[in-house]
Amino acid sequence: MKYFKRFFFELGCVLTIAMAIGFFAINYNSVEPVHAQSSTQTPCVLTGNFSAVGSSNAFDNRKLGCYTWRVSYASTGFSALSIQIETAPDVSGQPGSWTAMSGVTAGTNPSTSTNAATIALSSAAAWVRVTLVSETGTGVIQWQAWGANSVSNARNSSGGGTGATGVTGATGATGATGATGVTGATGATGSSGGPIGPTGPTGSTGSGGAWTRIGQQILSSPTATVTFSGITTGYTNLFATASVRSDKAGSGGDVVYVILNSDSAAHYTFASAGVTTTGPFQSTSGSGLVASTGLCGIPSLTTNAGTAGSLTLDFINYQSIWNKYIYVTCSVNSGAQVPTIQTVRQEWQSATAINSVTFGLTSASNFSTGSSFTLYGIQ
């Protein structure tokens, strides 16, 4: 049930963005933070969009103490840009001077990709915001920022994290030194204590939270499928990103699928929801099991030249003995649906740990040259 809670929470965020797009609120770039209601959800969330240089509202992190952050965005139209997540110290209850957040663990801050990117950072700053530092041309950037105040918030895994340090109070005045008292007589030596008690049990080890890049593939020629194999069990969760196009002829776009451990049989279920400029949509695999099916639409050979489909994939508890879940977020210009934002939950009904991930296209066409795929292990 906790996975469905997460799915419907993400769906709520997606539909909120859809309403903003539907009313053409392109210049809206100030947002209010949304706080999760469960320890298995991310407690600090900011979302919004930029069409010009500016900053979001300042997010007050003093009480929540979120210290693990991730920013993802998708851009259309701009020929150059610079976007970053920023922090400021607390000055009498207000943010001080803003600077780019340090502690980058994946990506770069600021990011200058004109398609899409994800930045992962570690910082427990008092105040946080997102800023479009510069842009060239005309376009729109849709972005989200997540913060977590424990490892279980960030990846739904076991092990506790250390909370953020509170603000240090002012130092009181030093009192006057008292007079030295008279030295008392030395007391009699007390009797020896009892035997040393047994050593208490060792506490559980907290999660490390480090990110390791398992592999990256940037295509130098058209390729039908891309596979990451030989994935070990030395991580807690897996995370992947992809920026891709298809060489399928025509302007109808194409669709990406993902299979696990080369299993193309009917062992999967899925649920999907999203929005386009024509309105919201949703679909499911129904009550039965299906073979892995299309997850996200992407541009084809003659569709939206110069753009790529952006995917981020969370593989939750990939070595569990229970069924495995993938949570996918898509942001893409595909065919007549411009833009499309979509969230998908795919379930693989298998007790086997994930040891390979394969990307392909439902049209059996090729991923275009320049398409990129990256897989991370999270400890």
Q: Tell me the pLDDT of the chain (379 aa) as tens digits.
A: 454 455 555 555 444 444 434 433 333 343 434 433 344 467 899 999 999 999 999 999 998 989 999 999 999 999 999 999 999 999 999 999 999 999 999 999 999 999 999 999 999 889 999 999 999 999 999 999 999 987 545 554 333 344 444 455 577 687 788 788 788 788 787 676 667 768 878 877 655 579 999 999 999 999 999 999 999 988 999 999 999 999 998 777 888 999 999 999 999 998 989 887 778 988 897 778 888 878 888 888 887 777 888 999 999 889 999 999 999 998 876 555 456 788 989 999 999 999 999 999 998 999 999 999 999 999 8
Q: If you count them, how many residues does the chain have?
A: 379
Phi then psi dihedrals of residue 301, to 5 deg: -55, -45
**What is the Cα–Cα distance from 54 to 213, expressed in whole angstroms?**
32
Q: Is the separation of the CB atoms in 312 and 326 below 8 Å?
A: no
Residue 368 Rama label (left phi>0; alpha psi -120 to 50; beta): beta
**What is the Cα–Cα distance from 263 to 129, expressed in whole angstroms?**
42
Q: Is the separation of the CB atoms in 328 and 295 below 8 Å?
A: yes
- The residues near 256 (Cβ < 8 Å, ≥ 6 apart) are 242, 244, 294, 295, 296, 297, 298, 309, 311, 359, 360, 361, 362
b/e map of 326-336 (b: 16 or more CB within 10 Å)?
bbbbbbbbbbe
**What is the Cα–Cα distance from 327 to 317, expressed in whole angstroms?**
12
CB atoms within 10 A of CB 256: 22
Q: Diameter of the chain by CA atoms?
A: 99
| C-alpha distances out from residue 86 to 30, 130, 154, Å | 14, 6, 20
Phi then psi dihedrals of residue 267, to 5 deg: -125, 20
Q: Which two tokens stand for residue 235?
A: 């991580």
pLDDT digits (tens, 9 = 90+) for 12-64: 544 444 443 443 333 334 343 443 334 446 789 999 999 999 999 999 999 89
- Burial of 210 from C-beta contacts in 10 A (0-12 / 13-18 / 19+): exposed
pLDDT at 203: 72
Provide the Cα torsion 102, 106, 112, 115; round to 10°.
-150
pLDDT at 98: 96
**What is the Cα–Cα distance from 242 to 15, expressed in whole angstroms?**
23
Reported pTM: 0.46
| CA end-to-end distance (rounded Å), the chain | 24
Q: Which two tokens stand for residue 118?
A: 């994800």
pLDDT at 207: 59
